[in-house]
Structure 1
Amino acid sequence: MRLRHENVAVRPMKVSDAEDWRRARQQNAAWLVPWDATVPPGGDPRPTTFRALVWRMRRQARRGTTYPFVVEVDGEFAGQVTLNNVVGGSAQFASVGYWIDRRFAGRGVMPLAVAMVIDHAFAELGLHRVEIAIRPENSNSLRVVEKLGAHEVGYAPRYLHIDGAWRDHRLYAITVEDVPPGGLVALVLG
């Protein structure tokens, strides 16, 4: 599966993305650290290699619980969007997380990539709701949810372990009923 709009593409992550992923993470380390999830004391350790990370996410994708996507701009690795915590049954929801190489920030790439993933989640996976949790001081991510037309639905104290501590988050949600004709992509581009 590959989603594309003009020069922005979203596709499943693969093991061969390792070099590009590592380079982007290393070059953007200082910029990403304040927003990066970390493992809390006593938590399950993260995979030690990129290959292990991709295999774990592929296993979760086969189970239908996580879908990791690479974001490309003009064929160049630009970041990642991951649909996480997918729940079926009467809930039919998921959460979405994302990061972008600073070189591509501020160009509308991430709102478009997240819109493509959410449109896919609604149309192809049959989800009803997608949530996005953002640290209150993350103005770049707040701009993404604004462009998506997401509604703030709550405030979660000490919600996620980020940058070495439990951090508060603002919670946003989009339901399938919120999506205009043409999808979120049309809204973002409109």
Structure 2
Amino acid sequence: MSGGWPVELREGDVVLRPIRLRDQRAWQEASRRNRDWLRRWEATVPPAPTGRTAGPRPTYRQMVRYLRSEAAAGRMLPFVLTYQGRLVGQLTVGGITWGSMCSANIGYWIDEAVAGRGIMPTAVAMAVDHCFQALGLHRIEVCIRPENRPSRRVVEKLDFRSEGMRPRYLHIDGDWRDHLVYALTAEEIPEGLLRRWRLR
């Protein structure tokens, strides 16, 4: 991914930049303030087959070290989202696959206090353009629980194509949950997704 990471992407007051250890206080404060807003959509670890409970959640520092190592290996782009200089969310391009597939998936969350202002669609559009134009990926997927209307509105505003349901796709909020699949390929947006979003 030479030239594709680390990178800072900016559109007005909306900025995506690599997550840092020194973001800990702001990240934890945003996560704590939005706990009820986000809990239903957060990934969880399924119980081990023997019935043993999962170990403790990783600390912030462990999480950042893991994300950075995945980025260094070319498998992930771990961004934080800032708006008007304040950390308001996170966007991760994950599951980056090269070779004959050249694809990735995007996951995201945003502070409820700034949701609905077009911030996350702008961030997703910037990330998709970076993946297609700078990295040379071909396909981006976003998988969302059917009940998560705010998250679905993000991809619908950006005209992602709906590709149907993946039953029991991810372990979320303590159980295996169905997810709707949305996708775009590079050929569908030759002009760039951010440009198309700006013109809406």
TM-score for both structures, normalised by structure 1: 0.96
Using the TM superposition, give the Cα deviation of residue 42 of structure 1 relative to its aligned residue in structure 2, in angstroms. 2.1
Structure 2 partner of 1:125: 135
Count of equivalent residues: 189
Structure 2 partner of 1:34: 40
Structure 1 partner of 2:198: 189
Question: Structure 2 stretches of 5 or more lacking a match?
Answer: 1-6
| Amino acid of the structure 1 residue aligned with 2:59 | T
Question: Structure 1 stretches of 5 or more lacking a match?
Answer: none
Structure 1 partner of 2:27: 21
Identical positions, percent: 47
- Classify the secondary structure of the residue corresponding to 1:57: helix
Counterpart selection for 1:179 from 173, 180, 189: 189
Structure with greater Cα Rg? 2
Query: 4+ residue stretches of structure 1 with deviation over 6 A?
Result: none
Return the alpha-carbon distance in structure 2 between the equivalents of residues 185 and 56 of structure 1: 29
TM-score for both structures, normalised by structure 2: 0.91
Using the TM superposition, give the Cα deviation of residue 45 of structure 1 relative to its aligned residue in structure 2, in angstroms. 5.1
- Contact 1:10 / 1:72 at 8 angstroms: preserved in 2? yes
- Contact 1:81 / 1:99 at 8 angstroms: preserved in 2? yes
Structure 1 partner of 2:93: 83
Return the alpha-carbon distance in structure 2 between the equivalents of residues 138 and 189 of structure 1: 24
Output one character per residue of 1:119-169: Cα deviation in whole Å (capped at 9) or x when no partner. 101111110000000100111011101111100112101000111110000
- Classify the secondary structure of the residue corresponding to 2:181: strand
Structure 2 partner of 1:7: 13
- Classify the secondary structure of the residue corresponding to 1:37: coil
- Classify the secondary structure of the residue corresponding to 2:24: helix
Q: CA RMSD in A?
A: 1.3
- Contact 1:39 / 1:46 at 8 angstroms: preserved in 2? no
